[in-house]
Copies of this chain bind each other. A is one copy, B any other.
Amino acid sequence: MPEVAQREVTFAQAIREALAEEMRRDATVCILGEDVAEAGTPFKVLSGLVEEFGKDRVLDTPISEAGFTGMAVGAAMTGLRPVVDIMFGDFITLTMDQMVNQAAKVHYMSGGRWKVPMVMRTTLGATRRSAAQHSQSLHAWFSHVPGLKVVLPSTPYDAKGLLKTAIRDENPVVFFEDKMMYKLKGPVPTEEYTIPLGVADIKREGNDITLVATSSMVQVALGASTLLEKAGISAEVIDPRTTWPLDEKTLIDSAKKTSRVIVIDEGYGRYGVTAEIASVIAEGAFYDLDAPVKRMGAMHVPIPFSPPLEDATVPTENSVFEAARALCNRN
């Protein structure tokens, strides 16, 4: 976007701006969640919104994730566009019935007669020393469910553009934010913009290997690609940006070009997002791959509290670098 006027904003600010802009544009958009009003959430992502939009549109709820998510489903069916805030991604466990058995199915079960335009914003990511119940990246579950869309922004630019689209979408959309990224800065256009769901973004072009990375892992992959460059390996970094809809073509095309692929996601590797993406690529680029698609995700353990243990659970620039180098057979 070289000719576009830009500003530097943090990831948190990008989200706040997306919400504020959509709330100005559409009076039916409202926010429901714990400590979202004056407190602006523990991460301060929503600071200032209640001051502009009032307590009628930015509502503090009791600690009732199932209850207020369910309310959002009903409100979305009947004229509002609620955005619910689930403080930590680990708490989606409490909302599964409302999201999966209700929100995701209402449109289909009613033969298309009711719709549920709501957004759930929540978090993912470890390494915050928050231990096993505040560190999970559970987006694979929702990606598995027809009727939901799942968004995983990795930059302030993507966060803002994708959240605005999510709010305007006529379906339930789950929006996962990496809590370690809130202070990350990046450019966003001064003008309004949106980003369609289902379009992958090539964060860096390259020829020797494709690193497919999501959310928190995009920065890790970009870091690894810099290391790889020094080792003479040109890595392409692709961010699917949404796990559903999934932009299979961009992924497969890149795999065909580079013939080597690593998929990196902070959720558990087992039965997780990397499995789907790796399968799609292994099938779609079968005749072009020079090596098996490699997957990197969180270790298959509850996230431990102790820093040296926790740090071992997630892919890092170095581990991705090493894996990529090994896959390219250059040591």
B279, A143: Cβ atoms under 8 Å? no
A11 adjacent to chain B (CB < 8 Å): no
> In the complex, what distance in Å separates the CA atom of A292 from the CA atom of B243?
22
Q: How many copies does the complex hold?
A: 2
A243: which B residues are within 8 A, CB to CB? 271
The answer to whether B271 touches A282, judged by C-beta atoms less than 8 angstroms apart, is no
Q: Interface 1/0s, chain A 76-109, versus B by CB < 8 A?
A: 0000000000000011111011001100110011
A117 at interface by CB-CB < 8 Å:
no
**With A101-B93, A144-B140 as given contacts, are A282 and B292 in contact (CB-CB < 8 Å)?**
yes
Which A139-155 residues have C-beta < 8 A from chain B? 140-141, 143-147
Closest partner residue, chain B, to A274 (CB atom): B279
Q: CB within 8 A of A146: which of B94, B131, B244, B302?
A: B302
Measured CA separation A104–B136 after assembly (Å): 13
The reply on A119 being an interface residue by CB < 8 A is no
Give complex CA distance A147, B302 in Å: 7
CA distance A289 to B283 in the complex (A): 11
Contact A144 B147 (CB under 8 A): no
Is A295 among interface residues, defined by CB-CB distance under 8 A? yes
- Inter-subunit contact A286/B291 (CB<8 Å): yes
Report which residue of A92, A271, A301, A304 has the largest number of chain B beta carbons within 10 angstroms of its beta carbon: A271
Write the chain B residue with the least CB distance to A280. Answer: B275
Choose one: B91, B93, B145, B293; the contact of A268 (CB below 8 Å). B145
Q: Are A278 and B268 in contact (CB under 8 A)?
A: no
Question: Is there an interface contact between B302 and A268, defined as CB atoms closer than 8 Å?
Answer: no
A299 to B146 Cα, complex, angstroms: 9
Q: Which B residues are CB-close (under 8 A) to A145?
A: 268
B144 touches A272 (CB 8 A): yes
Contacting pair B108 A146 (CB below 8 A) = no
A276 at the interface (CB under 8 A from B): yes
In the assembled complex, which residues on chain B have CB atoms less than 8 Å from the CB atom of A268?
Answer: 144-146
Q: How far is the CA of A101 from the CA of B299 in the complex (A)?
A: 17
- Least distance between A129 CB and chain B CB atoms (Å): 14
Q: Mark A260-293, 1 if CB is under 8 A from B, else 0.
A: 0000000110111111101100111010010111
Chain B residues near A302: list those with CB within 8 A. Answer: 104-105, 108-109, 146-147
A155 to B231, alpha carbons, bound, how many Å?
A: 53
Most buried by B among A101, A140, A284: A101
Q: Which residues of B sit under 8 angstroms from A282, Cβ to Cβ?
A: 278-279, 282, 292-293
Residues of chain B within 8 A (CB-CB) of A131 are: 109
Known pairs A101-B132, A108-B301 / 18 extra A-B pairs, C-beta < 8 Å: A93-B97, A104-B302, A105-B132, A108-B132, A108-B302, A109-B132, A143-B271, A144-B268, A144-B271, A146-B299, A270-B276, A274-B279, A275-B275, A275-B279, A278-B283, A279-B279, A279-B295, A284-B292
